[in-house]
């Protein structure tokens, strides 16, 4: 899901005072305290609700369904397809049989033509979908009657089935509009358990249960996602009763531990915090500086002090307990090594202990999004560690409107991470072909060895070959870091204890709209 922070000076001012853009969803418009209605505070909202532009691409969209979905253990299960796909022995053809009787929320039936339209539109270069490279393996998608869809691949792509959690849209509506500018982007029609009732940009989205949902009408009849960018304001609103639940930083979630009316959910994730180190910056473009920063950072201290233990050190883009993690890349803070690297590269200590080389001070700006306390604390800790090695990092908060145009040559405290398969998150993060493509490869990283590993991992169906490729990639990132990986953070949620059936998944970076305890909202049952 492509996320958008609340935009504009007026909204920013409102956040500072805790009114306007964060206006309370209360009174006659919302109903906290009810078992069939829930108001949830999240930090950001989507740019669009159209899967054609990337919304819900990793599954769990409440408005749409994919051919497949993931259960609480991340195992693939049938959704719009009645069974897992039939795959040919060469791994090049996947055939899906659609579930019978599924209708879109406007009453029109789902057919294979809708599936074909969805994938073909996303693959069309005229569609502004920055995640198109994720479907690179598709050679052709075609309908086999109304009830079957056949995908033909260019090469055996081992995790392809995981790509078919992508939501399906109705051709009879979206096909009549420009996918980039049409009304469908904000007025979607899907097959999912919920229907969008209203959207007040920068304030809230309200969904109502789809009574004709093929999986059964949800017991929670109304869902409001209140857009509250500031972490502290979100916690305050939850405490006052304005919200039934919220995603919170660990330190704020801990303040609810004695509240017997609320329950805390702690989900492990692939979500990591990292510092992008653009190669076009005069300082971060120097590999020695990037290596020194990697050695200087104290990851464990960030987990302990910033995350209150709700996370793990990040030694790369994959968490340490992931089966694809390359053992041996774990590393502790080593200031002596950082200083040795800088000395050898000609960065000599100067005024105030800050190093310089050929008249260039080892100094750069690190931007982090305003209102995000976890990123702020990471940025400040990173700057403190860097200074011990003689590198001056100036941490500054900014809105995303300010950050986005500066990402090319300014470091950013960023967050990424995808679950399901290493290809899902690593390719868009690191492949040189995607450098500067929106939020893809923000550091504009360009390493031929990493590109080769990514291409091998994507195009091979042999598990051992893929394991070796991703192992070599992680080791190469230690030698040539384009990012400083800091922590993998747990997502922490606090929710009124009024429902049964709540669980969490191992989550990607995205959290709030589709992840968290509400990933299976349609299965909740009011407590008796």
Residue 148's pLDDT band, with cuts at 50, 70 and 90, is very high
Q: What's the DSSP call for residue 89? A: T
Domain 272-489: top CATH class: alpha beta
- Tokens in use for 152? 């033909």
Q: b/e for 267-292, b at 16 or more Cβ within 10 A?
A: bbbbbbbbbbbbbebebbebbbbbbb
Mean pLDDT of 90-112: 97
64-184: CATH, from 3.40.50.740, 3.30.160.20, 3.20.20.30, 3.90.76.10: 3.90.76.10
pLDDT of the residue at 169: 98
Contact assessment for residue 44 and residue 399, using Cβ atoms and an 8 Å cutoff: no
Mean pLDDT of 59-67: 93
pLDDT of the residue at 417: 92
pLDDT of the residue at 508: 85
Mean pLDDT of 418-433: 93
Contact assessment for residue 124 and residue 151, using Cβ atoms and an 8 Å cutoff: no
Angle between helices 287-296 and 335-344 (to 10 degrees): 170
Please give the Cα distance from 128 to 53 (Å, whole number). Answer: 6
Of 142-151, 288-297, 491-500, 503-512, the range with the lowest mean pLDDT is 503-512
pLDDT of the residue at 511: 64
In this predicted model, what pLDDT tens digit does every residue of 352-361 receive, in sequence order? 899 999 999 9
Does pLDDT of 40 surpass 80? yes
For 366, the enclosing helix (H) or strand (E) is: strand 363-369
Does pLDDT of 17 surpass 90? no
Please give the Cα distance from 266 to 258 (Å, whole number). Answer: 16
* Domain range summary for the chain, segments of one domain joined by +: 3-46+192-264+508-522, 64-184, 272-489
Please provide the CATH number assigned to the domain covering 3-46+192-264+508-522: 3.40.190.10
Q: pTM of the entire structure?
A: 0.84
For the chain, the average pLDDT equals 91
Of 15-29, 387-401, 449-463, 481-495, the range with the lowest mean pLDDT is 15-29
pLDDT of the residue at 128: 95
Does pLDDT of 18 surpass 90? no
What's phi and psi for 273, nearest 5 deg? -105, 135
What is the C-alpha R_g of the chain? Answer: 23
pLDDT of the residue at 8: 31
Contact assessment for residue 120 and residue 104, using Cβ atoms and an 8 Å cutoff: no
pLDDT of the residue at 73: 85
* Alpha-carbon 501 to chain mean position: 24
Q: DSSP letters along 185-225, please? A: GTS---SSSEEEEEEETTTEEEEEE-TT-TT---S--EEEE
Which stretches of 352-438 are DSSP H helices? Answer: 373-388, 400-406, 422-430
pLDDT of the residue at 513: 66
- Tokens in use for 21? 């853009």
* Percent of the chain's residues with pLDDT above 70: 94
pLDDT of the residue at 103: 98
If we measure between CA atoms, which residue out of 274, 294, 278, 277 comes closest to residue 479? Answer: 294
Contact assessment for residue 420 and residue 161, using Cβ atoms and an 8 Å cutoff: no
Q: What's the DSSP call for residue 515? A: S
Contact assessment for residue 94 and residue 150, using Cβ atoms and an 8 Å cutoff: yes
Contact assessment for residue 271 and residue 507, using Cβ atoms and an 8 Å cutoff: yes
Q: How many residues does the chain have?
A: 528
């Amino acid at each position: 899901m492509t996320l958008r922070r609340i935009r504009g000076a007026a909204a920013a001012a409102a956040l500072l005072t805790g009114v306007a853009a964060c206006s309370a969803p209360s009174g006659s418009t919302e109903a906290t305290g009810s078992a069939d209605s829930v108001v949830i505070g999240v930090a950001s909202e989507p740019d669009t609700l159209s899967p054609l532009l990337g919304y819900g691409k990793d599954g769990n969209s409440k408005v749409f369904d994919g051919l497949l979905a993931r259960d609480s253990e991340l195992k693939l299960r049938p959704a719009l397809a009645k069974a897992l796909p039939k795959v040919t022995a060469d791994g090049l053809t996947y055939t899906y049989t659609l579930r019978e009787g599924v209708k879109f929320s406007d009453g029109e039936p789902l057919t294979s033509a809708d599936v074909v339209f969805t994938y073909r539109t996303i693959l069309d270069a005229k569609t502004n979908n920055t995640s198109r490279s994720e479907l690179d393996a598709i050679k052709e998608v075609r309908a086999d009657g109304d009830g079957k869809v056949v995908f033909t691949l260019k090469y055996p792509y081992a995790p392809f089935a995981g790509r078919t959690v992508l939501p399906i849209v109705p051709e009879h509506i979206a096909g009549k509009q420009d996918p980039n500018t049409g009304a469908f982007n904000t007025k979607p029609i899907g097959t999912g358990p919920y229907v969008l009732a209203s959207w007040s940009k920068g304030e809230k989205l309200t969904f109502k249960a789809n009574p004709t949902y093929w999986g059964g009408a949800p017991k929670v009849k109304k869902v409001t996602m209140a857009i509250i960018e500031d972490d502290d304001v979100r916690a305050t609103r939850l405490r006052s009763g304005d919200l039934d639940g919220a995603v919170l930083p660990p330190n704020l979630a801990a303040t609810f531990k004695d509240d017997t009316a609320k329950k805390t959910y702690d989900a492990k994730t692939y979500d990591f915090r990292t510092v992008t180190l653009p190669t076009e910056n005069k300082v971060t473009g120097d590999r020695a500086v990037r290596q020194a920063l990697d050695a200087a950072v104290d990851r464990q201290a960030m987990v302990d002090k910033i995350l209150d233990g709700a996370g793990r050190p990040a030694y790369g883009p994959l968490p340490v307990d992931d089966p694809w993690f390359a053992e041996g890349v774990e590393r502790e803070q080593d200031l002596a090594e950082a200083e040795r690297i800088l000395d050898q590269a000609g960065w000599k200590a100067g005024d105030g202990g800050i190093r310089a080389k050929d008249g260039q001070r080892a100094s750069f700006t690190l931007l982090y999004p305003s209102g995000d306390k976890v990123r702020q604390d990471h940025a400040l800790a990173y700057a403190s560690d860097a200074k011990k090695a003689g590198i001056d990092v100036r941490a500054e908060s900014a809105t995303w409107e300010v950050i986005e145009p500066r990402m090319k040559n300014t470091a950013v405290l960023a967050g990424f991470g995808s679950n399901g398969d290493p290809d899902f998150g690593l390719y868009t993060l690191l492949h040189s072909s995607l450098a500067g493509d929106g939020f893809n490869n923000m550091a504009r990283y360009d390493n031929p060895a990493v590109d080769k590993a990514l291409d091998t991992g994507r195009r091979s169906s042999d598990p051992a070959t893929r394991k070796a490729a991703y192992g070599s990639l992680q080791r190469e990132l230690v030698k040539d870091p384009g990012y400083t990986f800091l922590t993998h953070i747990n997502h922490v949620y606090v929710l009124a204890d009024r429902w049964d059936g709540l669980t969490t998944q191992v989550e990607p970076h995205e959290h709030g709209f589709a992840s968290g305890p509400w990933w299976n909202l349609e299965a909740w049952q009011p407590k008796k």
